[in-house]
Amino acid sequence: MPAPVPSAPPAPSATGAAATTSTVGDPAATRPARILLSPADVGAVEAEAAAGAVTSGWFAPAGPDVSGFEHELAERLCRRHAVACSSGTAALHLGLVAAGVRPGDVVVTATFTFAATVNAILLAGAEPLLLDCDPRTGDLDLGLLGDAVRRARRGGARVTAVVPVDVYGRVTAHERLLPLAGELDLVVVSDAAESVGSRRLGVDGAAVGRASAVSFNGNKILSTSGGGALLTDDDHLADRARHLAAQARRPADHYLHDEPGFNHRLSNVLSAVGRVQLARLDEFLARRRETRERYREVVDGLDGVELLGGHDDEGDNCWLTTVLVDPGTGTTPSALLRSLDRSGIEARRTWAPLHRQPAFRRHRSVVTGAADDLFARGLCLPSGSTLCPDDRERVVDALVEAVRRAR
């Protein structure tokens, strides 16, 4: 999901909470600050880290903060290697290419995801095969995988990889996916853009598969404003990814390139921000979990409204809490979104399935209607770690009021 674009950017405080400045005679001064979906939780520490990197002399996409960030990230996400990248999309693209996906290959992925997943596959020159999702969690529907791959192969397609997606921060069911992918001889490159800090059955989201990509976009749980990383335990893949990410340049006294490459590295300045954000990850996780618990209490008392994933938070960093609204309530996600917006609250509809998007509908897909249903019923609520208890109650009150009014 892209970072939300606030109509009037709030000034971040040390805790990241939006501040309003009182100006005599200005009606906007008395209006409560707009509550955003998932703003970056940044303040003085991040500003200091960025300033330190700027004055250190390392103002390029290389330097001690890049290597320090990569080392700390790999350790925290339980991988041997991390390659810091300019975005999660770049990391996923890099991961696919470094894992051996070639132009003309077919790569299986979810239709219920953000466009970046498929854009990365297309950037690698491969063709996506879109699979529908588990109606309860939004995770890839693994019941469809075997038949879809075998059918495509019978038709002559070279299906080589699968990209599962950690939907709204919840780690894919790797205990089922990995053996199945092994049987089907598929390389797993996981889209863990949203799941930094999540663990399912003791395994980090970013530790699933041959490689995984995480995002540090402005709306993610940990942000460098823009950025991402490729994670892997494979030494060869990591070396190749580093090489490709820096224009595939070999050491020489002239510009020597042994194959076409990309410019996918993260800058030293943003890596410095990433290091302090990473040190705060547990704090971010705790706040998002608290918000999930409060929303759960409220939703449990609202007929026709439930949480995506139900009561099962296994492997979920609670990045975005999403409600599913039954048509029997008399309201819709769109109507709720507009109603919350009028109260100064930003919400976001769940992804419109990619097999319906003008950009992707010509690609192969196997659909059951589950992603359509999640799109028809889903609404993501403000979930950021800057959300203070008072603002959370503003969201709760506005949601309850909007649902009750519709009956």
- Kindly report the backbone phi and psi dihedral angles of residue 379, in degrees, each rounded to the nearest multiple of 5, phi listed first: -145, 125
Region binding ligand PLP by CB under 6 A among candidate stretches 49-57, 71-79, 108-116, 130-138: 108-116
Q: Is 308 in the site for ligand PLP (CB under 6 A)?
A: no
Strands 199-200 and 187-191: unpaired
Least gap, CB of 360 to ligand PLP (angstroms): 14
Q: By Cβ distance, which residue is nearest to ligand PLP? A: 88
User: Which residues in 86-227 belong to E strands, given as ranges?
Assistant: 106-110, 127-131, 159-163, 187-191, 199-200, 203-204, 211-215
Please report, in angstroms and rounded to a whole number, the separation of the first and last CA atoms in the chain: 31
Q: Measured from the CB atom, is 134 or 391 closer to ligand PLP?
A: 134
DSSP string, 154-181: HTT--EEEEE-B-GGGBPP-HHHHHHHH
Q: Measured from the CB atom, is 56 or 225 closer to ligand PLP?
A: 225
Least gap, CB of 380 to ligand PLP (angstroms): 11
Q: Is 35 in the site for ligand PLP (CB under 6 A)?
A: no
Strand partners, 246: 263
Buried b (16+ CB within 10 A) or exposed e, 326-361: eeebebbbebbbebbeebebbbbbbbebbbeeeebe
Q: What is the SS3 assignment for 116? A: helix
How far is CA 92 from each of CA 123, 131, 406, rounded to the nearest angstrom? 10, 18, 42
Region binding ligand PLP by CB under 6 A among candidate stretches 81-89, 236-244, 273-281, 355-363: 81-89
Among 38, 50, 81, 87, binds ligand PLP (CB under 6 A): 87
Region binding ligand PLP by CB under 6 A among candidate stretches 55-63, 67-75, 112-120, 361-369: 112-120
Q: Which residue bears the tokens 């402005």?
A: 218
- CA 397 – CA 67 distance, rounded (Å): 46
Region binding ligand PLP by CB under 6 A among candidate stretches 188-196, 326-334, 379-387, 388-396: 188-196
Among 38, 109, 111, 113, binds ligand PLP (CB under 6 A): 113
Q: Is 112 in the site for ligand PLP (CB under 6 A)?
A: no
Of 90, 94, 321, the C-alpha closest to 217 is: 90
Q: Measured from the CB atom, is 113 or 198 closer to ligand PLP?
A: 113
Q: Residues 144, 108: contact at Cβ < 8 Å?
A: no
Among 38, 160, 217, 267, binds ligand PLP (CB under 6 A): 217
Among 18, 49, 69, 89, binds ligand PLP (CB under 6 A): 89
- CA 354 – CA 369 distance, rounded (Å): 12
Region binding ligand PLP by CB under 6 A among candidate stretches 44-52, 65-73, 83-91, 203-211: 83-91
User: Per-residue string for binding with ligand PLP, 122-161, x by CB under 6 A?
Assistant: ----------------------------------------
The site for ligand PLP (CB under 6 A) is made up of 1-2, 87-89, 113-114, 116-117, 165, 191, 193-194, 215, 217, 228
